[in-house]
Protein backbone atom coordinates (compact mmCIF):
# COMPACT_ATOMS: atom_id res chain seq x y z
CA UNK A 1 0.00 0.00 0.00
CA UNK A 2 1.43 3.39 -0.99
CA UNK A 3 2.25 5.82 1.80
CA UNK A 4 1.99 8.76 -0.55
CA UNK A 5 -0.76 11.28 0.21
CA UNK A 6 -2.76 13.40 -2.16
CA UNK A 7 -2.73 17.11 -1.44
CA UNK A 8 -6.29 16.86 -0.09
CA UNK A 9 -5.29 14.06 2.26
CA UNK A 10 -2.23 15.98 3.39
CA UNK A 11 -4.33 19.09 4.04
CA UNK A 12 -6.79 17.07 6.13
CA UNK A 13 -3.92 15.66 8.17
CA UNK A 14 -2.56 19.16 8.77
CA UNK A 15 -5.97 20.44 9.83
CA UNK A 16 -6.21 17.62 12.37
CA UNK A 17 -2.99 18.89 13.96
CA UNK A 18 -3.98 22.56 14.24
CA UNK A 19 -6.78 24.67 15.66
CA UNK A 20 -9.29 26.34 13.34
CA UNK A 21 -11.83 29.03 14.08
CA UNK A 22 -14.64 30.33 11.93
CA UNK A 23 -15.44 33.89 10.92
CA UNK A 24 -18.10 34.33 13.61
CA UNK A 25 -15.65 33.43 16.37
CA UNK A 26 -13.00 35.77 15.02
CA UNK A 27 -15.52 38.59 14.76
CA UNK A 28 -16.59 38.04 18.39
CA UNK A 29 -12.98 38.06 19.57
CA UNK A 30 -12.27 41.28 17.74
CA UNK A 31 -15.45 42.95 19.00
CA UNK A 32 -14.55 42.02 22.58
CA UNK A 33 -11.08 43.41 22.13
CA UNK A 34 -9.36 40.10 22.76
CA UNK A 35 -5.56 40.50 22.64
CA UNK A 36 -5.04 38.41 19.51
CA UNK A 37 -2.33 38.87 16.90
CA UNK A 38 -4.07 38.75 13.52
CA UNK A 39 -1.74 37.96 10.60
CA UNK A 40 -2.54 38.01 6.88
CA UNK A 41 -0.32 35.46 5.10
CA UNK A 42 -1.49 36.15 1.54
CA UNK A 43 0.61 37.65 -1.24
CA UNK A 44 0.92 41.39 -1.77
CA UNK A 45 -1.46 41.58 -4.73
CA UNK A 46 -4.13 39.86 -2.62
CA UNK A 47 -3.52 42.04 0.42
CA UNK A 48 -3.92 45.16 -1.71
CA UNK A 49 -7.50 44.09 -2.50
CA UNK A 50 -8.42 44.42 1.17
CA UNK A 51 -7.65 43.01 4.60
CA UNK A 52 -9.35 42.35 7.93
CA UNK A 53 -8.97 45.46 10.14
CA UNK A 54 -6.04 45.17 12.52
CA UNK A 55 -4.23 42.47 10.56
CA UNK A 56 -0.46 42.49 10.17
CA UNK A 57 0.70 41.57 6.68
CA UNK A 58 3.40 38.88 6.48
CA UNK A 59 3.45 36.89 3.23
CA UNK A 60 3.52 33.13 3.79
CA UNK A 61 7.02 32.85 2.39
CA UNK A 62 8.34 35.29 5.03
CA UNK A 63 6.41 34.04 8.04
CA UNK A 64 9.07 31.87 9.68
CA UNK A 65 11.64 34.62 9.26
CA UNK A 66 9.54 37.51 10.57
CA UNK A 67 7.16 36.04 13.13
CA UNK A 68 9.50 36.54 16.10
CA UNK A 69 9.82 40.23 15.24
CA UNK A 70 6.05 40.66 15.06
CA UNK A 71 5.14 38.39 17.98
CA UNK A 72 7.99 37.04 20.13
CA UNK A 73 5.64 35.69 22.82
CA UNK A 74 5.14 31.95 22.22
CA UNK A 75 2.03 32.01 24.44
CA UNK A 76 0.25 34.84 22.62
CA UNK A 77 -2.92 33.94 20.70
CA UNK A 78 -2.28 34.23 16.95
CA UNK A 79 -4.89 33.99 14.18
CA UNK A 80 -3.62 33.40 10.66
CA UNK A 81 -5.70 33.85 7.53
CA UNK A 82 -5.20 33.55 3.79
CA UNK A 83 -7.68 33.64 0.91
CA UNK A 84 -9.50 30.38 1.66
CA UNK A 85 -7.89 28.75 4.69
CA UNK A 86 -5.32 26.46 3.07
CA UNK A 87 -2.10 28.43 3.32
CA UNK A 88 -3.00 29.61 6.80
CA UNK A 89 -3.46 25.99 7.90
CA UNK A 90 0.03 25.07 6.75
CA UNK A 91 1.35 28.28 8.33
CA UNK A 92 -0.31 27.40 11.64
CA UNK A 93 1.36 23.98 11.60
CA UNK A 94 4.72 25.64 11.02
CA UNK A 95 4.27 28.07 13.93
CA UNK A 96 3.19 25.19 16.14
CA UNK A 97 6.42 23.40 15.27
CA UNK A 98 8.30 26.60 16.17
CA UNK A 99 6.83 26.46 19.67
CA UNK A 100 3.84 28.80 19.40
CA UNK A 101 1.11 27.39 21.66
CA UNK A 102 -2.05 29.28 20.69
CA UNK A 103 -2.15 29.45 16.91
CA UNK A 104 -5.41 29.38 14.96
CA UNK A 105 -6.19 29.24 11.25
CA UNK A 106 -9.27 31.07 9.97
CA UNK A 107 -11.50 28.58 8.16
CA UNK A 108 -12.56 29.99 4.81
CA UNK A 109 -10.02 32.82 5.13
CA UNK A 110 -10.59 36.32 3.84
CA UNK A 111 -13.07 35.02 1.30
CA UNK A 112 -15.41 33.84 4.05
CA UNK A 113 -14.96 37.12 5.96
CA UNK A 114 -15.82 39.18 2.90
CA UNK A 115 -18.73 36.96 1.79
CA UNK A 116 -20.43 37.60 5.13
CA UNK A 117 -20.39 41.31 4.43
CA UNK A 118 -18.00 42.12 7.24
CA UNK A 119 -15.90 45.27 7.20
CA UNK A 120 -12.48 45.20 5.57
CA UNK A 121 -9.91 47.89 4.97
CA UNK A 122 -7.98 48.83 1.85
CA UNK A 123 -4.26 49.36 2.38
CA UNK A 124 -2.32 52.35 1.19
CA UNK A 125 -0.40 51.26 -1.86
CA UNK A 126 3.05 52.36 -2.93
CA UNK A 127 3.50 53.21 -6.57
CA UNK A 128 5.90 50.91 -8.44
CA UNK A 129 8.52 53.66 -8.31
CA UNK A 130 8.07 54.16 -4.57
CA UNK A 131 8.32 50.43 -3.93
CA UNK A 132 11.71 50.43 -5.66
CA UNK A 133 12.88 53.71 -4.12
CA UNK A 134 12.14 52.64 -0.54
CA UNK A 135 12.82 48.92 -0.99
CA UNK A 136 15.82 48.94 1.36
CA UNK A 137 13.72 50.58 4.08
CA UNK A 138 10.86 48.15 3.60
CA UNK A 139 13.23 45.22 4.09
CA UNK A 140 14.11 46.44 7.61
CA UNK A 141 11.68 44.93 10.14
CA UNK A 142 11.75 48.07 12.32
CA UNK A 143 10.68 50.17 9.32
CA UNK A 144 8.76 48.08 6.80
CA UNK A 145 5.86 49.45 4.80
CA UNK A 146 4.14 50.84 7.89
CA UNK A 147 7.23 52.78 8.88
CA UNK A 148 7.75 54.10 5.39
CA UNK A 149 4.24 55.47 5.40
CA UNK A 150 5.03 57.15 8.73
CA UNK A 151 8.00 58.83 7.08
CA UNK A 152 5.93 59.94 4.10
CA UNK A 153 3.28 61.37 6.45
CA UNK A 154 5.82 63.15 8.67
CA UNK A 155 6.47 66.89 8.72
CA UNK A 156 9.88 68.12 9.82
CA UNK A 157 10.96 71.76 10.12
CA UNK A 158 14.63 72.53 9.47
CA UNK A 159 15.88 75.75 11.01
CA UNK A 160 18.71 76.73 8.67
CA UNK A 161 19.79 75.45 5.26
CA UNK A 162 23.50 75.73 6.04
CA UNK A 163 26.19 73.37 7.29
CA UNK A 164 23.93 71.23 9.49
CA UNK A 165 20.67 71.79 7.66
CA UNK A 166 22.13 70.67 4.33
CA UNK A 167 22.99 67.04 5.18
CA UNK A 168 19.96 66.74 7.46
CA UNK A 169 17.65 67.91 4.66
CA UNK A 170 19.28 65.67 2.05
CA UNK A 171 18.99 62.51 4.13
CA UNK A 172 15.48 63.26 5.37
CA UNK A 173 14.41 63.88 1.78
CA UNK A 174 16.09 60.72 0.54
CA UNK A 175 14.39 58.76 3.33
CA UNK A 176 11.01 59.98 2.13
CA UNK A 177 10.01 62.39 4.88
CA UNK A 178 6.95 63.80 3.16
CA UNK A 179 7.10 67.47 4.17
CA UNK A 180 10.22 69.49 4.90
CA UNK A 181 9.87 73.07 6.04
CA UNK A 182 13.06 75.09 5.66
CA UNK A 183 13.61 78.41 7.42
CA UNK A 184 16.52 80.53 6.18
CA UNK A 185 16.72 84.22 5.39
CA UNK A 186 20.22 84.10 3.88
CA UNK A 187 21.53 83.83 0.32
CA UNK A 188 24.20 81.43 -0.90
CA UNK A 189 27.77 82.75 -0.56
CA UNK A 190 30.97 81.28 -1.99
CA UNK A 191 32.29 80.63 1.53
CA UNK A 192 29.24 78.40 2.20
CA UNK A 193 30.17 75.83 -0.42
CA UNK A 194 32.94 74.25 1.67
CA UNK A 195 30.24 72.59 3.82
CA UNK A 196 26.69 73.53 2.74
CA UNK A 197 26.12 70.73 0.27
CA UNK A 198 22.56 71.72 -0.62
CA UNK A 199 24.02 74.49 -2.77
CA UNK A 200 26.41 74.81 -5.69
CA UNK A 201 28.40 77.44 -7.57
CA UNK A 202 25.42 78.29 -9.79
CA UNK A 203 23.39 79.08 -6.65
CA UNK A 204 25.65 81.87 -5.39
CA UNK A 205 23.48 84.90 -4.70
CA UNK A 206 20.24 82.89 -4.66
CA UNK A 207 18.10 82.52 -1.54
CA UNK A 208 19.14 79.35 0.26
CA UNK A 209 15.54 78.17 0.58
CA UNK A 210 15.14 78.27 -3.21
CA UNK A 211 18.37 76.40 -3.83
CA UNK A 212 17.47 73.86 -1.15
CA UNK A 213 14.00 73.23 -2.58
CA UNK A 214 15.45 72.69 -6.05
CA UNK A 215 18.09 70.24 -4.82
CA UNK A 216 15.60 68.26 -2.77
CA UNK A 217 13.19 68.02 -5.70
CA UNK A 218 15.98 66.51 -7.79
CA UNK A 219 16.54 63.84 -5.12
CA UNK A 220 12.99 62.85 -4.26
CA UNK A 221 9.84 64.21 -5.92
CA UNK A 222 7.73 62.66 -3.12
CA UNK A 223 8.93 65.37 -0.76
CA UNK A 224 7.07 68.65 -0.41
CA UNK A 225 9.34 71.56 0.53
CA UNK A 226 7.82 74.55 2.32
CA UNK A 227 10.28 77.48 2.17
CA UNK A 228 10.29 80.28 4.76
CA UNK A 229 12.59 83.04 3.59
CA UNK A 230 12.24 85.13 6.71
CA UNK A 231 14.06 85.51 10.01
CA UNK A 232 12.52 83.65 12.92
CA UNK A 233 11.09 85.99 15.53
CA UNK A 234 8.75 85.78 18.49
CA UNK A 235 6.03 87.07 16.16
CA UNK A 236 6.15 84.29 13.55
CA UNK A 237 7.76 81.19 15.05
CA UNK A 238 4.65 79.70 16.68
CA UNK A 239 2.71 80.00 13.43
CA UNK A 240 5.56 78.33 11.56
CA UNK A 241 6.21 75.37 13.86
CA UNK A 242 2.60 74.54 14.68
CA UNK A 243 2.12 72.27 11.66
CA UNK A 244 5.34 70.26 12.13
CA UNK A 245 5.99 67.09 14.11
CA UNK A 246 9.69 67.67 14.78
CA UNK A 247 12.06 70.64 14.62
CA UNK A 248 15.69 70.15 13.57
CA UNK A 249 17.86 73.07 14.68
CA UNK A 250 20.83 73.97 12.51
CA UNK A 251 21.10 77.62 13.51
CA UNK A 252 24.45 79.19 14.40
CA UNK A 253 23.46 81.94 16.84
CA UNK A 254 22.12 82.34 20.34
CA UNK A 255 18.97 84.35 19.55
CA UNK A 256 17.63 81.67 17.22
CA UNK A 257 18.72 78.82 19.47
CA UNK A 258 16.92 80.20 22.53
CA UNK A 259 13.89 81.23 20.51
CA UNK A 260 13.54 77.80 18.89
CA UNK A 261 14.01 76.01 22.22
CA UNK A 262 11.41 78.10 24.02
CA UNK A 263 8.91 77.81 21.18
CA UNK A 264 9.33 74.02 21.03
CA UNK A 265 8.78 73.72 24.79
CA UNK A 266 5.66 75.87 24.65
CA UNK A 267 4.31 74.05 21.57
CA UNK A 268 5.27 70.58 22.84
CA UNK A 269 7.51 69.84 19.85
CA UNK A 270 10.63 67.62 20.03
CA UNK A 271 13.78 69.50 19.05
CA UNK A 272 16.78 67.78 17.46
CA UNK A 273 19.71 70.05 18.22
CA UNK A 274 23.20 69.99 16.71
CA UNK A 275 26.33 72.12 17.03
CA UNK A 276 29.83 72.16 15.54
CA UNK A 277 33.16 73.93 16.08
CA UNK A 278 36.40 73.32 14.19
CA UNK A 279 36.89 69.54 14.62
CA UNK A 280 34.23 68.84 17.24
CA UNK A 281 30.48 68.43 17.11
CA UNK A 282 27.56 67.39 19.24
CA UNK A 283 23.93 66.39 18.93
CA UNK A 284 21.06 65.85 21.36
CA UNK A 285 17.27 65.75 21.46
CA UNK A 286 15.33 68.16 23.64
CA UNK A 287 11.87 66.88 24.57
CA UNK A 288 10.66 68.78 27.58
CA UNK A 289 8.10 66.22 28.74
CA UNK A 290 10.78 63.49 28.90
CA UNK A 291 14.08 65.29 29.49
CA UNK A 292 15.85 68.64 29.72
CA UNK A 293 15.52 71.55 27.33
CA UNK A 294 18.27 73.93 26.25
CA UNK A 295 17.55 76.36 29.09
CA UNK A 296 17.99 73.55 31.63
CA UNK A 297 21.67 73.78 30.63
CA UNK A 298 21.88 77.52 29.93
CA UNK A 299 19.08 79.42 31.70
CA UNK A 300 20.14 82.70 30.09
CA UNK A 301 22.48 83.57 27.21
CA UNK A 302 25.91 85.12 27.84
CA UNK A 303 26.41 88.81 27.14
CA UNK A 304 27.15 89.78 23.52
CA UNK A 305 30.87 89.84 22.76
CA UNK A 306 31.82 87.45 25.54
CA UNK A 307 32.36 84.52 23.15
CA UNK A 308 33.99 84.32 19.69
CA UNK A 309 32.03 85.29 16.62
CA UNK A 310 30.80 82.63 14.23
CA UNK A 311 33.35 83.53 11.56
CA UNK A 312 36.40 83.54 13.86
CA UNK A 313 36.60 79.90 14.93
CA UNK A 314 36.18 78.09 11.63
CA UNK A 315 34.99 74.54 11.01
CA UNK A 316 36.22 71.62 8.94
CA UNK A 317 33.70 71.22 6.14
CA UNK A 318 33.03 67.50 6.57
CA UNK A 319 32.14 67.85 10.27
CA UNK A 320 28.63 69.31 9.75
CA UNK A 321 28.01 66.45 7.34
CA UNK A 322 28.56 64.00 10.19
CA UNK A 323 26.55 65.91 12.80
CA UNK A 324 23.76 66.85 10.39
CA UNK A 325 23.44 63.20 9.39
CA UNK A 326 23.15 62.24 13.07
CA UNK A 327 20.40 64.83 13.44
CA UNK A 328 18.56 63.27 10.50
CA UNK A 329 18.92 59.86 12.15
CA UNK A 330 17.48 61.15 15.43
CA UNK A 331 14.53 62.72 13.59
CA UNK A 332 13.83 59.43 11.79
CA UNK A 333 13.97 57.50 15.07
CA UNK A 334 11.41 59.89 16.55
CA UNK A 335 9.14 59.53 13.52
CA UNK A 336 9.28 55.74 13.54
CA UNK A 337 9.22 55.38 17.33
CA UNK A 338 12.25 53.08 17.31
CA UNK A 339 15.52 52.90 19.20
CA UNK A 340 16.56 55.26 21.97
CA UNK A 341 16.53 58.93 20.95
CA UNK A 342 19.21 61.15 22.47
CA UNK A 343 16.81 62.57 25.05
CA UNK A 344 18.78 63.54 28.14
CA UNK A 345 22.02 62.55 26.42
CA UNK A 346 24.57 64.68 24.60
CA UNK A 347 26.60 62.85 21.96
CA UNK A 348 30.00 64.48 21.39
CA UNK A 349 32.23 63.75 18.41
CA UNK A 350 35.96 64.50 18.29
CA UNK A 351 36.98 64.21 14.64
CA UNK A 352 40.74 64.42 15.27
CA UNK A 353 40.64 61.63 17.85
CA UNK A 354 38.03 59.66 15.93
CA UNK A 355 36.00 59.23 19.12
CA UNK A 356 32.42 59.60 20.26
CA UNK A 357 31.69 60.46 23.88
CA UNK A 358 28.36 60.65 25.69
CA UNK A 359 27.33 63.07 28.41
CA UNK A 360 24.20 62.69 30.51
CA UNK A 361 22.04 65.80 30.73
CA UNK A 362 19.74 66.45 33.68
CA UNK A 363 16.41 68.18 33.66
CA UNK A 364 16.49 71.29 35.83
CA UNK A 365 13.33 71.57 37.97
CA UNK A 366 14.07 75.30 38.26
CA UNK A 367 14.40 75.79 34.49
CA UNK A 368 12.83 79.14 33.61
CA UNK A 369 10.91 77.70 30.66
CA UNK A 370 10.22 73.96 31.31
CA UNK A 371 10.66 73.80 35.09
CA UNK A 372 8.07 73.31 37.79
CA UNK A 373 7.43 77.06 38.09
CA UNK A 374 8.45 78.61 34.75
CA UNK A 375 9.23 82.29 34.75
CA UNK A 376 9.48 82.62 30.97
CA UNK A 377 5.98 82.34 29.56
CA UNK A 378 6.42 84.53 26.49
CA UNK A 379 8.95 84.29 23.69
CA UNK A 380 12.00 86.56 23.81
CA UNK A 381 13.93 88.12 20.92
CA UNK A 382 17.58 88.47 22.00
CA UNK A 383 20.18 90.62 20.32
CA UNK A 384 22.38 88.96 17.70
CA UNK A 385 25.55 87.21 18.89
CA UNK A 386 27.02 83.73 18.66
CA UNK A 387 29.75 81.38 19.87
CA UNK A 388 30.62 79.51 23.04
CA UNK A 389 33.62 77.36 24.01
CA UNK A 390 33.36 73.62 23.47
CA UNK A 391 33.21 71.41 26.61
CA UNK A 392 36.08 69.14 27.59
CA UNK A 393 35.25 65.45 27.67
CA UNK A 394 36.02 65.21 31.38
CA UNK A 395 33.29 67.71 32.25
CA UNK A 396 30.51 65.11 32.20
CA UNK A 397 28.08 66.72 34.60
CA UNK A 398 28.61 70.32 33.58
CA UNK A 399 29.27 69.96 29.85
CA UNK A 400 27.19 72.32 27.75
CA UNK A 401 26.26 72.32 24.06
CA UNK A 402 28.57 74.19 21.71
CA UNK A 403 27.23 77.24 19.92
CA UNK A 404 29.58 77.91 17.05
CA UNK A 405 28.82 76.76 13.51
d(CA 58, CA 60): 6
Statement to judge: residues 193 and 315 lie in one domain: yes
Question: What pLDDT score was predicted for residue 305?
Answer: 63
Query: What whole-number distance in Å separates Cα of residue 63 and Cα of residue 360?
Result: 41
Mean pLDDT of all residues in 301-313: 64
Binned at pLDDT 50, 70 and 90, residue 394 comes out as very low
CATH number for the domain harbouring residue 68: 3.40.250.10
Q: Do the domain assignments include residue 372?
A: no
Q: Which H or E run contains 104? A: strand 103-106
Mean pLDDT of all residues in 45-50 = 95
Query: Which of 115, 132, 163 is where one domain is finished?
Result: 115
Q: Does residue 315 have a pLDDT over 60?
A: yes
Provide the residue range defining the domain that includes 53: 7-115
Q: Bridge partners of 101?
A: none
**234 and 356 together in one domain:** yes
pLDDT at position 312 is: 61
Residue where a domain stops, chosen among 91, 115, 139: 115
Residue 178's domain is classified under what CATH number?
3.40.50.720
Of 147, 184, 174, nearest to 56 by C-alpha is 147
| β-strand pairing of 224-228 with 56-57 | unpaired
Whether 231 shows a pLDDT value over 50: the answer reads yes
Q: What pLDDT, on the 0 to 100 scale, is given for residue 201?
A: 97
Task: Please indicate, yes or no, if residue 144 is contained in any of the structural domains.
Answer: no
58 and 179 share one domain: no
81 backbone dihedrals φ, ψ, rounded to 5°: -145, 150
Residues 222, 306, single domain; the answer is yes
From the centroid of its chain, how far is CA 320? 20
Dihedral, CA of residue 346, residue 293, residue 255 and residue 158, to nearest 10: 70
Q: Is the same domain home to 159 and 59?
A: no
- CA gyration radius for the chain? 27
Residue 162 has pLDDT above 60, yes or no: yes
Q: Over 204-239, what HEC string results?
A: CCCEHHHHHHHHHHHHCCCCEEEEECCCCCCCCHHH
Q: Are residues 75 and 175 in the same domain?
A: no
SS (H, E, C) 22-40: CHHHHHHHHHHCCCCEEEE
Q: What is the pLDDT of residue 300?
A: 85
Same domain, 198 and 305: yes
175 and 317 share a domain?
A: yes
Do residues 123 and 48 touch, judged by C-beta distance below 8 A? yes
Write down the mean pLDDT value for the chain. 91
Whether 90 has a pLDDT exceeding 70, the answer reads: yes
Tens digit of pLDDT for each residue in 268-289? 999 999 999 899 999 999 998 8
Q: Is the pLDDT of residue 170 over 90?
A: yes
Classify residue 75: in a domain, yes or no. yes
Spatial distance between the Cα atoms of 245 and 270, rounded to a whole number of angstroms: 8
Q: What's the structural domain count of the chain?
A: 2
At 304 the pLDDT is 67
Give the tens place of pLDDT for each residue, 177-200: 999 999 999 999 999 999 999 999
pLDDT at 4 over 90: no
The pTM score is 0.83
Considering the domain architecture, whether residues 162 and 254 belong to the same structural domain is answered as: yes
Identify whether residues 212 and 341 lie together within a single domain: yes
What's the pLDDT band for 385 if we cut at 50, 70, 90?
very low
- The DSSP code for 60 is G
**103 shares a domain with 175:** no
Amino acid sequence: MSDRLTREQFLQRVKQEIQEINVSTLREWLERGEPIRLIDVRELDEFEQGYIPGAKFIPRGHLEWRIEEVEPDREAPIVLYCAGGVRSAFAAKTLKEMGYKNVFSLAGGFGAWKSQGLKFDLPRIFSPEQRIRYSRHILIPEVGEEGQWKLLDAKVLLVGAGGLGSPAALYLAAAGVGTLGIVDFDVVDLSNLQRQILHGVDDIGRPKVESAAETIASINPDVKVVPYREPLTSENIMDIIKDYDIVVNGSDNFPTRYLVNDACVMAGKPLVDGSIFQFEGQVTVFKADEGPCYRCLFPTPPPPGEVPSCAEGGVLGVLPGIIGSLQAMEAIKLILGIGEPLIGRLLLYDALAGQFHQVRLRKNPKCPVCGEEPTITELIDYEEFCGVPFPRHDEEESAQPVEVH
